[in-house]
Structure 1
Amino acid sequence: MEVRVPLKVILSGEHAVVYGHPAVAAAVDMWTEVSAEPHDTTVISTRYFGFEAGIRVKRTEDGRWTVASEDLLDEFSYLVEAVKEAERMGADPDAKIEIRCEGPPGSGLGTSASVICGILVALLGLSGVEPDRDEIRRAVRNVEKRVQGRASWTDATVVTLGGVVKVKGDDVERLGEGIPGHVLVCYSGTPGPTARALRLVERLREEIPAIVDGVMEEIGNVAEGVSEAVIEGDASKMGSLMNVNHGLLSALGVSTRELDEIVNVARNCGALGAKVTGAGTGGCAIALFEDRETAERCAATLEAIGYEAWVVRTVSDGYRT
């Protein structure tokens, strides 16, 4: 059983979406591929961008799942929880699972949600179970929430449904199949684990709640504007709003020196807008360009100073089998 799942970029609304405000995100043509075949136990091997590892997962008589070491269990927590969720949904978890992901882990590109989705669909399909996409979406979010403590519906929605969507709580509005302009994705070289970034913002909110809530509300307003720009096909408006969104995310403390450098280089290259994408504290930034040629030149500039960059296209559908 083989499954192909897109990664995603958040165009606007990070962090605020966790507190009930909207976010806008798009599926892009960077992929996770998951294959599963019957086996006598659960074996998972992964090959991410710059990261390769494997584990053998076993269940004890009392139903607990064990791996070679607790350190590995922490590293593979999303994967193990996805296998457990698939079993709860009716799948036989004993399988050899191979994962290949084009995005770096902790990149803000939805790699965790994409991998979870791939494992769920592959194991369920191998067992002849065919849940609908909304069931998969909810299961992906359940796994993210168990591992992270908090999780919005954004990543789970985009990797299962594809296209460009606005998410607010559990409500989903499909905005279209693509966005105006061309998107560049650039990796800062440092992962930004979602759980860590969420805790950072949560602590800041405990310290200065009124200020942080005000920032969250403004991020939500920006996301509403971005959704309008997508519908209107207005790349200039969308870029301006992305710039504002980056400033607000910086105020929450989730940007870094490297992410700010990527944003500034992209703007100097002619980007209409640029920002952190995803939880931040590492991971990726994105930039919007009017034409692909300028975006490609900017990618080359960023690579010349040591970053990895890609010009991506939006994709209209979610996971594929």
Structure 2
Amino acid sequence: MGRTVHGKSNAKIILIGDHSVVYGQPAIALPLPSVTTNVTIRETATGQRLNSRYFDGPISRLGQNLAGVAKLINTLLTRFDGQQTPFEMTITSDLPAERGMGSSAAVAVAITRALYAFFERPLNRDLLLADAEIAEKITHGNPSGIDAATVSSNVPIWFVPHRETTQIPFALQGYLVIADSGIKGQTGKAVAAVARRQTTMPTETNQQIQTLGQLSVAARAALAKPDLRQLGQIISDAQQQLQGLGVSSRELDHLTQVATANGALGAKLTGGGMGGCLIALCPDRSTTQRVQQSLVDAGATATWIEAFNLEEDPQ
């Protein structure tokens, strides 16, 4: 068996700032290190092959659905003079697609880390994010960069569009339950709905967007204090604003109510909304387990638990 190297990344969720970030307000994205994407590259005798849940075969035959991955791999192989170097790349991921958890960015980051390791080249954070963007530009057109910044981090990301992407202090002790509503998120539809609402109801909509921005500022302070209960209230307040903007759904509303009724300090949708996932903040493990089970009983199709015990990672 030939030499084997690994690259790893994690999932992410938007803790707060969903939709308001589109209008220039700050957002906080949270990495989920327990939900991972892993890329393994193994030396082989011939060929360059990719194994994944979406494609198994020669890298040269990657289809349009993986055009971003193909562009990233080929760009790095050209940079490293590795077009003829034989290897087998295997991608495994815990992240569900189209649930607002950063699955495409996680793949791009893990591939980048693995290829740099395989060709024994130095990699810093700025270079990592720049290279991951090669794939993200093809996959998403005009990515904000928040996904790649977060799936490659072990601490929260403070994001202000076109101004700031910064790792921020994090001192909370607690748990987060992430639950999949079972309905595919509809980010494009939700963003368009808010834009229409801003046109027809500008005063009310702009106030809701501004309030969500203020809640992001308050959440940053609660993360640093730390103040778990205050953060829970901020999260629930954000859900009320998102409901007002029309981007929640009957299923998400029900699941957030179930979570708080079973002891969560706060709960809200995360990401584009109109489906996708929700998050519920819990103070201890027993409450977390009760909330998780209650969400499953109420119809959540998958759940994840993240403990707040993150430590800063320089890369």
TM-score range, shorter chain: 0.7 to 0.9
2:195 to 205, 227, 252: 205
Give the secondary-structure state (helix, strand or coil) at the position aligned to 2:168: strand
2:267 to 260, 274, 282: 274
- By how many angstroms is 1:234 displaced? 1.0
1:300 to 290, 293, 298: 293
- By how many angstroms is 1:306 displaced? 3.8
Equivalences for residues 180-199 of structure 1 within 5 A? 180-192=173-185, 196-198=186-188
1:228-253 alpha-carbon deviations (Å, 9 max, x no partner)? 11011111111111112122233344
**Contact map agreement 2:158 2:166 (CA 8 A) in 1:** yes
Does the alignment pair 1:101 with 2:80?
no
2:165 to 166, 172, 178: 172
Give the secondary-structure state (helix, strand or coil) at the position aligned to 1:7: strand
1:157-197 alpha-carbon deviations (Å, 9 max, x no partner)? 122232123122352333324534321111112332xxx51
**Contact map agreement 1:164 1:178 (CA 8 A) in 2:** no
* TM-score, normalization by structure 1: 0.82
Which residue is 1:118 aligned to? 110
- By how many angstroms is 1:83 displaced? 2.4
Question: Which structure: larger Rg?
Answer: 2
For 1:264 and 1:294, how far apart are their aligned partners in 2? 15
Equivalences for residues 306-321 of structure 1 within 5 A? 306-307=299-300, 308-314=302-308, 315-317=310-312
Give the secondary-structure state (helix, strand or coil) at the position aligned to 1:173: strand
For 2:265 and 2:139, how far apart are their aligned partners in 1? 36
Which residue is 1:233 aligned to? 226
Which residue is 1:16 aligned to? 20
**Contact map agreement 1:15 1:198 (CA 8 A) in 2:** no
Query: How many percent identity over aligned positions?
Result: 25
Which residue is 1:153 aligned to? 145
Give the secondary-structure state (helix, strand or coil) at the position aligned to 1:285: strand
Q: How many residue pairs align between the two structures?
A: 301
1:67-119 alpha-carbon deviations (Å, 9 max, x no partner)? 4xxxx523x34433432453465473674221111121122222222111001
Give the secondary-structure state (helix, strand or coil) at the position aligned to 1:161: coil
- By how many angstroms is 1:206 displaced? 5.1
For 2:160 and 2:81, how far apart are their aligned partners in 1? 30
- The one-letter amino acid of 1:56's match is G
Which residue is 2:119 aligned to? 127
Give the secondary-structure state (helix, strand or coil) at the position aligned to 2:54: strand
Give the secondary-structure state (helix, strand or coil) at the position aligned to 2:251: helix
Equivalences for residues 20-39 of structure 1 within 5 A? 20-28=24-32, 29-38=34-43
For 2:71 and 2:242, how far apart are their aligned partners in 1? 30
For 1:152 and 1:197, how far apart are their aligned partners in 2? 14
For 2:24 and 2:159, how far apart are their aligned partners in 1? 9
Which residue is 1:49 aligned to? none
- By how many angstroms is 1:141 displaced? 3.8
For 1:202 and 1:149, how far apart are their aligned partners in 2? 17
1:189-228 alpha-carbon deviations (Å, 9 max, x no partner)? 2332xxx514541464156343554433322211111001
Does the alignment pair 1:3 with 2:7?
yes
**Contact map agreement 1:165 1:176 (CA 8 A) in 2:** no
- By how many angstroms is 1:130 displaced? 2.2
For 2:236 and 2:13, how far apart are their aligned partners in 1? 15
Does the alignment pair 1:83 with 2:73?
yes
- By how many angstroms is 1:316 displaced? 2.5
- By how many angstroms is 1:295 displaced? 0.9
After TM superposition, the structure 1 stretch with the greater mean CA deviation from structure 2, 37-46 or 23-32, is 37-46
* TM-score, normalization by structure 2: 0.83
**Contact map agreement 2:267 2:281 (CA 8 A) in 1:** yes
- By how many angstroms is 1:156 displaced? 1.4
For 2:57 and 2:37, how far apart are their aligned partners in 1? 21
For 2:314 and 2:40, how far apart are their aligned partners in 1? 13
- By how many angstroms is 1:266 displaced? 0.3
Give the secondary-structure state (helix, strand or coil) at the position aligned to 1:176: coil
- The one-letter amino acid of 2:195's match is R
Which residue is 2:64 aligned to? 73
- The one-letter amino acid of 1:316's match is E
RMSD between superposed Cα atoms in Å? 2.8
Q: 1:221 to 1:122 in 2, by over 3 A?
A: same
